[in-house]
């Protein structure tokens, strides 16, 4: 950059000696579009939210450019590479109902000593039997939780307007 400034000043001094009466700024502005030095493209590093989204998305569902950027991010951070592997193996356990592998998975995560996973694995270990059953059996309480959520929404909508009798009617008569 300093060399280019020096060249522009030299040119301005030279043409001033030949009778040019304009200022340096006019010469600089005239030469700016003629600049041939390529500028590096503005490449921002991806945000934490973006990388998290990439890690939590199935690799085959990612767009090609996102897959390449994720690959570059993983190449620069071995801890993130290990984290990505653990996320994928947990997702496989979840979708394939392989709950019996949870103990080995927790041991592998602990072996890699990833601070971001310590709390998660501790929570899994607190109720290991329930986690194993949740990852192994096809049954879940999703429908019941959906109904509870709907009832809470109705209650919030009616807050301060009516008593329990109307809430009961809305819950029982709603489709």
Whole-number pLDDT of residue 1? 53
Alpha helices for 57-97 (secondary structure H): 64-76, 78-96
Q: How confident is the model at residue 125 (pLDDT cuts 50, 70, 90)?
A: very high
Buried b (16+ CB within 10 A) or exposed e, 98-114: ebebbeebbeebeeeeb
pTM comes to 0.60
How far apart (Å, rounded) are the C-alpha atoms in residues 51 and 59? Answer: 12
How far apart (Å, rounded) are the C-alpha atoms in residues 97 and 133? Answer: 9
Angle between helices 164-173 and 142-157 (to 10 degrees): 140
Q: How confident is the model at residue 51 (pLDDT cuts 50, 70, 90)?
A: very high
In this prediction, residues 43-57 reach a mean pLDDT of 89
- Residue 12 clears pLDDT 90, i.e. is over it: no
Phi, psi of 41 (to 5 degrees): -65, 150
- Residue 71 clears pLDDT 80, i.e. is over it: yes
Whole-number pLDDT of residue 34? 78
Domain borders along the chain are 2-34, 48-136, 142-173
Question: In 3D, which of 113, 58, 62 has the Cα closest to residue 90?
Answer: 58
In this prediction, residues 34-44 reach a mean pLDDT of 70
Average pLDDT across the chain, whole number: 87
């Amino acid at each position: 950059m300093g060399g280019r400034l020096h060249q522009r000043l030299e040119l301005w001094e030279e043409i001033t000696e030949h009778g040019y009466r304009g200022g340096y700024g006019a010469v600089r502005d005239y030469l700016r579009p003629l600049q041939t030095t390529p500028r590096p493209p503005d490449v921002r590093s991806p945000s934490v939210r973006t990388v998290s989204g990439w890690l939590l998305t199935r690799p085959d569902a990612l767009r090609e450019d996102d897959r390449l950027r994720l690959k570059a991010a993983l190449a620069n951070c071995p801890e993130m590479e290990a984290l990505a592997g653990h996320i994928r193996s947990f997702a496989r356990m979840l979708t394939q109902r392989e709950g019996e592998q949870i103990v080995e998975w927790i041991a592998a995560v602990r072996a890699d000593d990833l601070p971001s996973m310590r709390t998660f694995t501790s929570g899994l270990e607190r109720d290991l039997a329930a986690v194993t059953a949740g990852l192994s059996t096809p049954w879940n309480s999703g429908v019941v939780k959906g109904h509870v959520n709907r009832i809470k929404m109705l209650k919030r909508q009616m807050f301060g307007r009516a008593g329990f009798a109307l809430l009961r009617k809305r819950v029982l008569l709603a489709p």
